[in-house]
Amino acid sequence: MDRLTAAKKHFITITEHRILVRKYCFRMGLCRQGLMHDLSKYSPAEFMTGVKYYQGNKSPNAAERDEMGYSGAWLHHKGRNKHHYEYWTDISTRDRIGTVGVKMPLRYVAEMLADRIAACRIYQKEAYTDRSAWDYYKINCDIITIHPETKKLLEKLLKMIAVRGEEETLRYMRYLLYVKKEYPADCLCSDNKEEK
């Protein structure tokens, strides 16, 4: 495929993805995040990689990673977009553990959920089901660096979509954001639960 065709197709893919994420974010009450989602994908650092490695059925960053051993576009992207759990990592100075996950604020967990649904819908097209985001997550879930409470919440939400569907899951996330305003009790680590 020539570069101009790849550029057009990549532009359409990322724009369709942003439109879907926006729709999900709006339904959860996250209008600003929906509008701002993934704007860095149009930057030269990310867009040119998208054109070079465009395939249409998976992220160009994965193809760059396969070829180079890492993805410069991904490093650029995850450092600028708080809806990726990879943004929320740091070096622990306690017990010399190394890299650890930091608990994500609920609004970014919600955007991450929207991002995962939309990415699966865009890349899987007609093959998409309510299980798609959960099935994709399970591929690497044992090797990711993510805060344990964020991981529990993400898994709960992805399983909820698989079993109950998007509509109920998005309503539940909106409830967490605007009524409960905190992680649900079943997603908290035992040392963080208040004594009763």
Instruction: Tally the C-alpha atoms within 13 A of residue 144's C-alpha that lie toward its C-beta.
Output: 20
Confidence of residue 190 (pLDDT cuts 50, 70, 90): confident
Confidence of residue 195 (pLDDT cuts 50, 70, 90): very low
- pLDDT(192) > 90: no
CB 137 within 8 A of CB 158: yes
Letter string b/e over residues 119-150, b meaning 16 or more CB atoms within 10 A of that residue's CB:
bbbbbbeeeeebebbbebbeeeeeeeebbebb
- Looking at residue 45, its pLDDT comes to 97
* Residue % of the chain over a pLDDT of 70: 96
Confidence of residue 179 (pLDDT cuts 50, 70, 90): very high
Torsion of CA 67, 133, 120, 29, to 10 degrees: -120
Q: What is the pLDDT of residues 90-134, one digit of tens each?
A: 998 877 678 999 999 999 999 999 999 999 999 999 999 999 999
- Looking at residue 191, its pLDDT comes to 65
Q: Could you give the C-alpha distances from 94 to 90, 91, 149, in angstroms and in order?
A: 12, 9, 18
* Residue 61 structure tokens: 């960053």
Question: Whole-prediction pTM value?
Answer: 0.93
Scan for tokens 């609004």, then name that residue: 107
Across 155-171, average pLDDT: 98
CB 38 within 8 A of CB 74: no
Q: What is the pLDDT of residues 9-23, one digit of tens each?
A: 999 999 999 999 999
